[in-house]
Structure 1
């Protein structure tokens, strides 16, 4: 029975598998294994293929069951797609007649859940703000990567799904379980009620939600880190859900007396019932709490991470086709409020002379001052391809999150900008008007017109915008 791989292979030919179980997942046991070639140790989850044909419950009411095979295939697809220091790395997938084996990096530092329990039993009773900030910013950074670069919604963020790489206090944190995760293209809301009661967002209970639900869960985790108990209580799941839907939480004394107003402000902006008013991951990353409480080294790392994200987005914009650049500028005209606020701050910090444009010299100065000299060659090459300067509107078009420009209403606005005759499609003459060249219009049409009918439909336009 073939499932997730293209051929049957013997995992023992590459790895020596230990006998002792070190953990268990939704439907498999985890052991250590050692590469025969390098001697490097990994973790290996072994799943009996017969169990994957059994349906599993992923909802509370109405009762819904999905074959475990569907969830497993999706998890493997996601793990193969991602590459981030706070996400568990999938090394290999092997399949034999009986089992499926997932080989991942080895984490020996235990669950975040266990460290929270140890903190609650200590004299302090909870994490310090600095230590909590170091954990929360890693989680948000990983989720920003999932949301913005891959349109992945995790849907089950909780302390049990984070492992520390080692037992060291400052060990790297890893998100380990993507069993309930899914790709989200923004075209329609997710409707399956999944997650864990204490951490579930109110819109998930209403069964109409998007990836903003992950930010709610992060708000709950941050709350627990800072006081030692969850914000929403109840004697059973139904009571917890009612508290979640009422957003019924308080910063009670004495646990919250010494917690800063900035920390409480970030929690309030994550535990917002309306998901459209909730902070996105990118917005949360630049909340002033992190800069105020994190150590100098950690703050510097945050700046470096922000610069890398900015560089990645600018590079993505520079490599986009001409039609997509125009479309992004059209969408950028209407981006405002919370969506724009954090990007305006970033732009102002890079526009050193305040003239409304970022130049090569300005960006290089900022990068050099933050100890990221190795990026200067990339920045120079990048801005050279963009006329050596960026005004604010182009900066906004280049750096806004995929989740913003892939909203259906934003895609429709951009599409209608090119559909000059209002026919519901973009033809060659429309493209010539937008691009100013018959050759460019012909090339663009060939690239985007997937059904070769001589025009670009809204679905074809949307697919072009989703492509990197």
Structure 2
């Protein structure tokens, strides 16, 4: 099991733990690893971590049988903590994990005898370890020094001996076949290579060059990033970044994650260790690496296998029903660390970390948070919302006031397609309610919608149709988008083939009440929307009816000073006048 931190190492007052006074007998203080450097093993649980009182939604991918639940005192849901992590399922070797070589936590070391045993078990199980990759690794590459080590292998530099890249120094990730003891571990390797091959064209994505194999190993050849991990940069700055410097980092992270999500790829293991700088230059671009736990996903799909790293795992992952929003949570954790130098969810054991993720709230009271801007705190809070529906998307986060830059290109957001698809298939009452809500949006929310509408390239009359949605998707497509079947969502938007939308219609279709409900000014937005209902309406709509249509609690729709009856009597909708077919 991973080693534990002593209570004295737990930040309680915002002080940097490794700078606190120690008793003289702690002579090895200088060699102790910074708490941020103490790594937890990556998780790869096909089993459930949390069994909810209600069955999971349709569309969840079926995993292995669910174990009996072990209640956790005080939990709101019936919680079962993940089983102890066997070495064979702890996750894949990833990247140049520079730093894991220097200090795997207890239980994370290599065991050649275990590898031999695993190979015998795999052979007995009849596992196919022939990946179909090139067999000429030795003829093409001259391996150099080791630059990192992960749980299941290592990464070395290598010089290309022939071909288009002749003479270039690359990174070679070596994954021993002896460690592939289950069908899941084999499939993880296949999928990692498939994703790296399919994704291309983003400056913050590590370049993939080649994949080879021999009888013993699989070799993944990639761009060599020599600038070190983001985690190393954080530690070199004393544990935290300034706000301005943190913005530059977070912007790059959001940009590449928005790109992956548009292509239908969810990373599932975002953390500072998985972002490398291309060079040692202070302004060098970052590269996202390690797609060993990543997966293809459609916009409406939910995943249920529990993967990731404990400190960065989202609550819904532990509830085994999640989608792209889980990556957004991880970005929130990274941003929190960048700004204050400590983790938002901490415990001495992995099970304790899971409890904290599920039940605790991040601390925004201790130093340095009082000196951090309200915009930065709001940004982090909106990413670390335990209700995944209320989190910003990666593209939307780039328009947040903390990061806003009028010269920055905002990427196309796949969630827009999901919302528009739902809108054109919803009831007239919901059309009317969302249209009134869209009229009450503030300039901050409209900025994001304008950027998305512009990417759809409306015609001279300022209108868009299904063809605009199709062309925008194809202009941003990579091979990964075809594998993940993201374009299939266009088939569900067929009613737009004979209709069109102006910007007002688009705002009604693309607004998310859940995202608005997470805003501090939500009550004012709702109140303004009610005024539109009252002014334009000719039919009384009850609070319960409106709340059901908008998937919100009726209590949220009450006036600050009025009763439910008074509120209901003031809500009028002219469905015929406001409905857009």
Q: TM-score range by the shorter chain?
A: 0.5 to 0.7
For residues 217 and 327 of structure 1, the distance between their equivalents in structure 2, rounded to whole angstroms, comes to 27
2:141 to 1, 8, 15: 15
1:305 to 396, 405, 409: 409
Partner of 2:173: 45
Does the aligned pair in 1 maintain the 2:131–2:190 contact within 8 Å?
no
Instruction: Give the secondary-structure state (helix, strand or coil) at the position aligned to 2:462.
Output: strand
Instruction: Give the secondary-structure state (helix, strand or coil) at the position aligned to 1:104.
Output: strand
Instruction: Give the secondary-structure state (helix, strand or coil) at the position aligned to 1:208.
Output: coil
Instruction: Give the secondary-structure state (helix, strand or coil) at the position aligned to 1:143.
Output: helix
Inter-CA distance 165–412: structure 2 relative to 1 (3 Å threshold): closer
Partner of 2:159: 34
Higher helix share: 1
Inter-CA distance 343–258: structure 2 relative to 1 (3 Å threshold): closer
Does the aligned pair in 1 maintain the 2:264–2:298 contact within 8 Å?
yes
For residues 157 and 256 of structure 2, the distance between their equivalents in structure 1, rounded to whole angstroms, comes to 25
Partner of 1:440: none
For residues 253 and 210 of structure 1, the distance between their equivalents in structure 2, rounded to whole angstroms, comes to 32
Does the aligned pair in 1 maintain the 2:399–2:448 contact within 8 Å?
no
Is 1:222 aligned to residue 340 of structure 2? no
2:316 to 194, 200, 203: 203
Shift of 1:162: 1.4
**Aligned pairs, how many?**
349
Inter-CA distance 391–240: structure 2 relative to 1 (3 Å threshold): same
Does the aligned pair in 2 maintain the 1:331–1:397 contact within 8 Å?
no
Shift of 1:327: 6.8
Deviations 1:93-119 (A, max 9, x none): 112233221110001111112222222
Does the aligned pair in 2 maintain the 1:127–1:226 contact within 8 Å?
yes
Partner of 1:289: 402
Structure 2 unaligned residues grouped into runs of 5+: 1-126, 500-581
For residues 176 and 331 of structure 1, the distance between their equivalents in structure 2, rounded to whole angstroms, comes to 39
1:134 to 248, 251, 256: 248
Structure 1 unaligned residues grouped into runs of 5+: 56-65, 292-298, 318-323, 351-356, 359-378, 419-430, 436-468
Does the aligned pair in 1 maintain the 2:466–2:493 contact within 8 Å?
no
Instruction: Give the secondary-structure state (helix, strand or coil) at the position aligned to 1:44.
Output: strand
Shift of 1:252: 2.7
For residues 26 and 108 of structure 1, the distance between their equivalents in structure 2, rounded to whole angstroms, comes to 21
Instruction: Point out which structure has higher relative CO (alpha carbons under 8 A, 6+ apart).
Output: 2
For residues 393 and 360 of structure 2, the distance between their equivalents in structure 1, rounded to whole angstroms, comes to 18
Shift of 1:247: 4.1
Partner of 1:442: none
For residues 190 and 154 of structure 1, the distance between their equivalents in structure 2, rounded to whole angstroms, comes to 12
For residues 328 and 388 of structure 2, the distance between their equivalents in structure 1, rounded to whole angstroms, comes to 9
Partner of 1:455: none
Inter-CA distance 349–105: structure 2 relative to 1 (3 Å threshold): closer
Deviations 1:256-299 (A, max 9, x none): 121110000101110111111111111111111113xxxxxxx5
For residues 234 and 329 of structure 1, the distance between their equivalents in structure 2, rounded to whole angstroms, comes to 43
Partner of 1:143: 257
For residues 466 and 486 of structure 2, the distance between their equivalents in structure 1, rounded to whole angstroms, comes to 17
Instruction: Give the secondary-structure state (helix, strand or coil) at the position aligned to 2:388.
Output: coil
For residues 218 and 7 of structure 1, the distance between their equivalents in structure 2, rounded to whole angstroms, comes to 34
Deviations 1:172-209 (A, max 9, x none): 11111111111111444211111112111111111111
Out of 229-238 and 279-288, give the one that drifted further: 229-238
Q: TM-score, normalised by structure 2?
A: 0.53
For residues 389 and 26 of structure 1, the distance between their equivalents in structure 2, rounded to whole angstroms, comes to 57
1:278 to 391, 408, 414: 391
